[in-house]
A and B are shown apart, each in its own frame.
Chain A
Amino acid sequence: MIEKQTIYKRLKTCEVLNIPQIKKLMLNDWNTLSKDARYYLTIPQMLVSGRDVRARVGTFNDPWGTSVSSKWTPTPFQFINTSLSDIVNQRAIEILNNAKNTNRSIVILWSGGIDSTVILTAFLKNLSLADHELLTVCLNTQSIADNPSFYFNFLSTNKKIKFLPATNFSFITDDFLSKNVLLHGDPGDGVYGPSTGMYRTFSNESKHLELWKNNLKGIYKILEPNIEIDQIVEPGFGPWFANIITRTLEESGQADYISTVADWYWWTYFNFKWSSMCCYPLFNGILSPDHRGLSDENFDFYSKNIFYHSSQFQNWSYSNLKELVGIDIFKTHKLKAREYIYEFDKNFQYFSRKRKTSTASPSLRHHKSSIIAHDQNFKPIFGGSPHAKQAVSMILKRYKESEEI
């Protein structure tokens, strides 16, 4: 009983959940769960590599009644005119200064994708050659496959830069974070616009720039799992989840500005995925039951130096929302970010062809035993014991989204 209560308490106050793992834990009891719980556990599969969904703005009651930590509170919506290039350059300099002032080195997780290449470019552009010695690039074979030219032209030949294999992220400890600024490309999708794959059905018919209010039935349909393409069925999920997103959008007071179908998908990321994606390397690295978690000081420093998690980037994204996605989604996807990279590397190939091709996280290779969440200090929470499983199951049997837990 004590363990059940402890698990519930830890889940309620946890930093980030692992919904896919909770789903795995519950598969054999699937039909005993409440309908809302089954819907809740289906969300990650329908939301491009989702792990945890929490509303930064508006109301959404997950089964545990969790809230979003103040670290991830969105900046008040505000229009700005600053160019992306200026914001990226300023952010790199700001982080460099933060690193120097705290005697930290800079470690960049480079996937080869657009978001992390922008970051790497910003540092290569704005750091003096002497400061290149502060840089460590954490990469793997996938990173090179994603952007071979950048690797050969700017990294492998740069004798000052250090390299760290990203086979797994187990190097992330409290001690590591006290000596390094850890940078990564998330939540870049929340800044530049989410995966176009999410609304391809609309863009194929050139309807993605129409008002979402006139297309809710279409959104319901896209979000409804289809046995042929999603390999699961959960009838009614589409409207259930779409209505949660729509509700928070209306509660934000921005529903008239965040108006198109493409904007609506931007909101799903900006509002629901932002906070968990900020912690991407942490939940993929802190896996051992013996891990001591993170000190408040290091976690706070980490969160303040997440490259894209700044007021400026959030305001830029909000201000340029209507330019993020054009009629031709292929041409406009992350265009400003690609322009920033092209200005530096002159690689027309990458500029013209590179689009969203997410790399699976390294730790997905390794089964994370039964980690169902990470608590406030980022210690893993395991759901493997019978008591823990019972506690989770009990909560999921009673869960109704519309009721306060």
Chain B
Amino acid sequence: MDSQHPLYYQCTYNPNWDRYGLLRSKDNSFYIIDNNMNLLKDVQLMIMKYEVLHLVNVDHYFNFLSKTGETVKRLNIQELTEHHNNHVSNAAIFHNDSDRIEKIQKNINNDNCHLFGITKSSSWSLFLDVNHFRLEDNIIEHNKKDVMFDNDVQEKVFLLRKILYTIQGTFEYINQFVSLQEDISVAGLKRYKTFFSMCYPEDTVFSKLADADIEACNTRLESIKHLQAHFYRSLNSINLNNSILKIIQEYLSIIGGDQTFIVEIEKLFPAFERTYDIHRAQTIIVSELNKLLTYYNYD
């Protein structure tokens, strides 16, 4: 993807973490690279009814041998060492020398990932989450962009990643914020309940009162959880066949719609509380998407 595009983001090589990619078998090309596996997994599942993409751990093919090699070295069992060496010398990843590391592992990024794929014969038959069960499996480089590569699919992948990243990030923050605020209440009530059960074992009322109070504290967090699920559910219901502009507009019309969006959650979770956190999460996500809308809504 063009590095000037507003949906573009960098994900460069870093030995401290593994990077993952979504690969389309039709053209055996990567469509996106990211170090957040859960986020990419969500993108894969969200786009599933539109396009099947396979989740691949890109760095795995380059660091698998060094990881297992270290274990073999540490264990120092002669037979094991010989067995390991015999086995790995037949695997395609054995060819991943410093040249390939420079040329592929350190080079692959979101502006050139379309030029990389997986061993041709492996790409014909892949699990949704690509494990490494064939000796010939490896990351390969094409000499040019495949004619079947679908730029529209790639842009939609990046769009979904952007939306999901915004949702995940916003809720990570809100959850942390609320948990830090509420932690003492729940912990205090739990201890209060334990104390009563030890000192006043004959009392049967207190335990129920404490549980009700704990539940009231939890309702705030539960409401946030339901809200997040509804953001996901709504995004999953959008027709990805439409243009990106239409997708963003449709999604905004659902999540930004005054009360309807919340009413839908209340139907599923009657204890839902319209707290300040709910309002904040909704506002942040809607504003972020409105900014993106200006790029596409140039008319």
Contact = CB atoms under 8 A, between A and B. Distances in A.
Interface of A: 24, 27-28, 45-46, 48-49, 141-142, 145-146, 148-149, 195, 197, 200, 204, 227-232, 330, 349, 353, 355-361, 364-365
A231 B136 contact: yes
16 contacts: A45-B121, A45-B136, A145-B52, A146-B52, A227-B95, A230-B119, A230-B136, A231-B136, A231-B140, A232-B92, A349-B241, A357-B126, A360-B126, A360-B127, A360-B133, A361-B125
Given A231-B140, A365-B133, A357 B148 contact: no
Contact of A229 (B26, B48, B120): B120
A232 B28 CA distance: 18
Contacts of B28: 197
Interface of B: 25-26, 28, 45, 48-52, 86, 90, 92, 95, 119-121, 123-128, 131, 133-136, 138, 140-142, 147-148, 241
A364 B147 contact: no
A294 B70 CA distance: 46
A113 B141 CA distance: 28
A45 B50 CA distance: 29
Contacts of A27: 90, 135
A132 to B, nearest CB: 24
Contacts of B86: 28
A197 B28 CA distance: 10
B124 A49 contact: yes
Nearest to B153: A353
A231 B124 contact: no
Contact of B48 (A148, A195, A200, A204): A148
A353 B120 contact: no
A231 B135 CA distance: 10
Contacts of B124: 48-49, 195, 197, 358
A116 to B, nearest CB: 15
A204 B45 CA distance: 30
A142 B128 contact: yes
Contacts of B127: 142, 359-360, 365
A369 to B, nearest CB: 14
A27 B49 CA distance: 41
Given A27-B90, A148-B49, A353-B50, A231 B119 contact: yes
Contacts of A228: 140-141
B148 A229 contact: no
Given A149-B49, A195-B124, A230-B119, A364 B25 contact: no
Given A197-B124, A231-B92, A330 B148 contact: yes
Given A141-B128, A229-B140, A364-B133, A357 B49 contact: no
A156 B156 CA distance: 28
